[in-house]
Amino acid sequence: MLKDLCEAIDAIDIKISLDANDPNLNSDDYMALNKYCPFVNNGNEQKCKNYEEIIISAFMTFLVSFISSNGNGYLDSDNFAEYAILWLCYQLNQKTENGIRNLNEFYNNYINGIEKYINELENAETYNSCLNTINKKQYLMSMDIKEMSKIYEALKLLCKLYTECNGKNPNYPNCSQDAQDFVNEFKNLNDDCSITGNNSYRKILYTLSTDYDDFKNDFAEKCTGCKDMPTLPNIKTTQNSIECPAQIRVQDKGESPGQGSEAISSGSSVASKLIPALLVFAILVFLGVNYKYSLFGFDKQLKRIHSREKIKKIKKNVDHYM
């Protein structure tokens, strides 16, 4: 599956070779990617007038053409949505001054206005199926575009392995070196706690790791030069990344350690239950401390009695929320 997706990414990259910071960009020079541009002139014409609009039209073209050519079976695959969104984030990050931090902002600014026209277009059903698949990955929509671009660099190296090692040309003399390049990039991501300290980014690392192992097991033996493939390190958890806690995303605090996507999903569920309880605990402790100091100067024995009563109430409330 990944080989087909990587070939599709290479094909769309060739079509949109452009300068992201060129102020004169418009879709007249990229007619093949014009299909999902915004409607202008009272809905009578489609035209992309800037880099962001060209990229989203290219993204939609990429999704629809890939699924139309390869079948809907790919829609159920985790890496299809994740890798497609990595590509989109990387392309958006090429423009330095668009001010877009995540895909939620991009959706609101550039996609929202054209969806009402989609159902009138050819392949509208396929487009909507693709969009539904993307929408199921809501955790991707709020992720930082710059961080996603880092992960895309690793994906490109992995894609090179899949596309270079193929049945038409089994001679792949640079296979081991290209594999080492991917492993090195993966290690860089694994050592970056802004990546491994975030549940969602780490999930994509697991997907990359699985696809690399699949290449080693299923593809490498078909190509010369693919012997002695390097091994990926174990993916770090939040607890392994305490050396730079300031970079760890707030929403991932309180997660349980685990390996694999199932453990990550479980960790996210636990975090969603723990965070309200921890917030209640923190608020109650804060109130208890304030109460303590408000009694400063009064009888110490009375203060100890009140403190014990507060602690009992705190424990009771925390037990209730747990």
Q: Tell me 165's DSSP state.
A: S
What are the extents of the domains in the chain? Answer: 1-142, 149-253, 261-321
The pLDDT profile of the chain, 322 residues, written as one tens digit per residue, is 688 889 989 888 887 777 777 777 766 777 777 777 877 787 777 888 888 888 888 888 888 888 777 766 665 566 788 898 899 899 888 886 767 788 887 777 766 655 555 666 666 677 677 667 676 777 777 788 899 999 999 999 999 999 998 767 788 889 999 999 999 999 999 999 889 888 889 999 999 999 999 999 888 788 888 888 999 999 988 644 455 554 444 444 433 333 344 443 444 443 333 333 333 333 333 334 343 333 334 344 434 444 445 444 434 433 433 3
Q: Tell me 107's DSSP state.
A: I
d(CA 110, CA 49): 11
| Per-residue confidence (pLDDT) for residue 122, from 0 to 100 | 63
Largest CA distance in the chain: 88
Buried b vs exposed e over 266-305: b needs ≥16 C-beta within 10 Å? ebbeebeebeebbebbeebeeebeeeeeeeeeeeeeebee
Answering whether pTM is above 0.85, one says no
| Per-residue confidence (pLDDT) for residue 176, from 0 to 100 | 92
